[in-house]
Amino acid sequence: YTEKIDQLSKNFDYSSNSNYYWGEPELSLLYGTPLYEAASPSQQKALNHIYWALDYYFIAATETNTILFNEVTANAFFPFDDYEVLCHALDLETNQERYHIRAFHTIGIKTELALMGETLFHCPRSTKPQEMDKTLAAFKGMGGRAGSGFGSHVYNISLSNSPFLASQYYVARGIGNLNLKSRESTLSQVYKRLEKKGEFIPTPTAVSRYHLLDESFHTATSQLISHEIYKDFPQPNIWEKYLANQVIYRLQSNVFNGLSTTLPATCAGNFMPMVYKLLQTPIFGMSKQEALLMMEKCFCQENEGLHVTAKYYQRLLSDIRKFLEGLDYLSPVNREMRLMASSGSVEKAVANNIREFKQFSRSVKR
């Protein structure tokens, strides 16, 4: 399916796809908020399209992480004769990821330029790095969000020298596969419904479907390595157990740590500076003051979008817990994803949003 994704992205023309939803309406930027409810049909479609672009920028960032870690872990497996085939499979995955990344960026950039005349969400930069660090974190990919500085460097070195840790990286990757599947399965259902009716299938919808099929192979690889192959290696020592647990703990504290209002069905964050700019583009044409007032309405009260996100969040939590069953070296807080479980309420999301909006509003008014 990689070749199909590549060809679709090369031929993508936004104007030919602009009159269609690319996924369910609930997978739209700021779905269920006062902005979305007041938007015209064309504005709602634009929010649906920007959602796809932004979500796949994040997916591309995580797949960039995957390229690195596939190579690092292969170094740990390659000295063992029985794992040469596995290493070649990881090389194939890495090649597929490169095509995926290029396709996602191509479609996303063309979409942004067509809608706004500029790219607000592709490779964003900040003139205030400290204030924007949290906002930009999701663009580092799941691995980048979970890791940090020296700790990440130590982990990478340990991976390449420990077959156990190399195999257990695929626990984290398996969680990432499940996170991706939670939304792509919904997009895939749209594809199959349109195909069955013989209706037009938007290019991004088709790309999502084919990517899900490509990733099903990667998901199977993650399952095999993380749950079976690790048993072939010596029992982990205390340091290896500690690092393996730290990875899952950091995923919970830095990635799966709450509900996004801006990007429903995800834990990606709210990206308030970018939403602020979006509201002032030709799509909505708001003044700075109007944009702030609308953002306050969207972020500082309960809305339908948060309930949609909570539904996806709980389903993902259940899937991850099933995936982690049997990995006895994980502590209960990690095996049961207790931090993630404690962060998934709508009430907490609203409280966090209010704090974040107050900080953002002050920074804008200074």
CATH number at residue 251: 1.10.620
What is the percent of the chain where pLDDT is above 70?
A: 91
pLDDT at 183 over 60: yes
The whole-angstrom separation of Cα 200 and Cα 187 is: 15
pLDDT tens-digit readout, 318-328: 999 999 999 99
Reported as a pLDDT band with limits 50, 70 and 90, residue 42 is: very high
Contacts of 197 (CB under 8 A, 6+ apart): none
pLDDT at 337 over 90: yes
pLDDT tens for each residue of 155-174: 767 777 888 998 998 999 99
Amino acid identity for residue 275 in this structure: V
Average pLDDT over residues 179-186: 94
- pLDDT average, residue stretch 43-60: 96
Q: Write out the two tokens for 226.
A: 């993380």
Q: Report how many domains make up the chain.
A: 1
Per-residue pLDDT at 98: 93
Q: Are 66 and 93 a contacting pair, CB within 8 Å? A: yes
20 within 8 A of 202, measured Cβ to Cβ: yes
264 φ, ψ to 5°?
-55, 150
pTM for this entry: 0.92
Selection from 166, 62, 50, 150 nearest residue 107 by Cα:
50
| Alpha-carbon distances of 117 from 109, 110, 202, 208, 335, rounded to whole Å | 10, 9, 21, 25, 46
- Spatial separation of the C-alpha atoms in residues 117 and 302, rounded to whole Å: 32
- pLDDT higher than 60, residue 126: no
The tokens describing 321, both together, are 């817990």
pLDDT in tens, 1-11: 899 999 999 99
Q: Which H/E stretch holds residue 322?
A: helix 304-324
- Residue 14 CB coordination number (10 Å): 16
- The whole-angstrom separation of Cα 288 and Cα 187 is 34
pLDDT tens-digit profile of 257-309?
A: 999 999 999 998 899 999 999 999 999 999 999 999 999 999 999 999 999 99
* pLDDT for the residue numbered 86: 82
pLDDT at 161: 82
Arithmetic mean of pLDDT over the chain: 90
Two tokens, residue 82:
């029985």
CA–chain centroid gap for 286, Å, is 29
Domain carrying residue 331: 2-365
Please check the confidence at residue 128 and state whether its pLDDT lies above 80.
Answer: no
Residue 156: burial class (beta carbons within 10 Å; 0-12, 13-18, 19+): middle
pLDDT number for residue 145: 65
User: Of the candidates 359, 362, 366, which has an alpha carbon nearest to the alpha carbon of residue 135?
Assistant: 359
